[in-house]
Amino acid sequence: MLPESWRGALGGQLSEPYFAELMEFVAKERANGPVHPPEDEVFAALAATPYEDVKVVVIGQDPYHGAGQGHGLCFSVRPGVRTPPSLRNIYKEMKEDLGHPVPDNGHLMPWARQGVLLLNAVLTVREGEPNSHKGRGWEKFTDAVIRAVSGRPDPAVFVLWGAYAQKKLPLIDESRHAVVKGAHPSPLSAKKFLGSRPFTRIDAAVAAQGHTPIDWRIPDLGRA
């Protein structure tokens, strides 16, 4: 269930009582109706970005709750799914900040494969009901993910967009890791987010840590 590269850092969480209760809750939720993402994609962010490869951590809140949207990476949607508003603002800022074209899709797997951990704080959601799995134990697990990255000798860049993500700041050792904070890219706070040049700031921190740069360009898929 847990990707192998993360087992040493997080394996102890799976034997904790809270995790057994969480798995029981999610199983009952799936028995009662649609839950997103599918069971085999709950840990997709960890599978796509191995523990030792993490350069950047982007913290989201909970998965997209529409059918067929989310696939386990925060802000990302499946190929062929309409790009959500927050991600459209991220792309708009990427274009203004770095000059990269806005892609025709919202599939962020190319970022994840370069070491960008796209981590939601809550990893499952009931269809059509945002935050429906909040407070059930996922936060304890994903806090452990953040602590695990913070505890590595190799530094990373933590991207905290919005007040919710910024509450995770105490979990991060700022003496060893870089933190890029800013407004959330949702339409509600887009005026503050747009123009904040987060990609330039992230790139500078990645370079200062001695890591290879992230290529933020997302390839077009040739579909609307």
- Rounded-to-integer distance, Cα 67 and Cα 114, Å: 27
What is the chain's alpha carbon radius of gyration, rounded to the nearest angstrom? 17
Q: Which of 40, 53, 62, 203 is catalytic?
A: 62
Stated as kind and residue range, the H or E segment containing 131 is none
Pure H helices in the chain: 4-10, 17-32, 44-48, 85-98, 109-112, 138-150, 162-166, 190-193, 198-208
Residue 173 annotated to the active site: no
Quote the tokens at residue 121.
Answer: 């704080």
DSSP-derived 3-state class of residue 51: helix
Q: Hunting for tokens 């590269």 — which residue is that?
A: 5
Q: Kindly list the catalytic residues.
A: 62
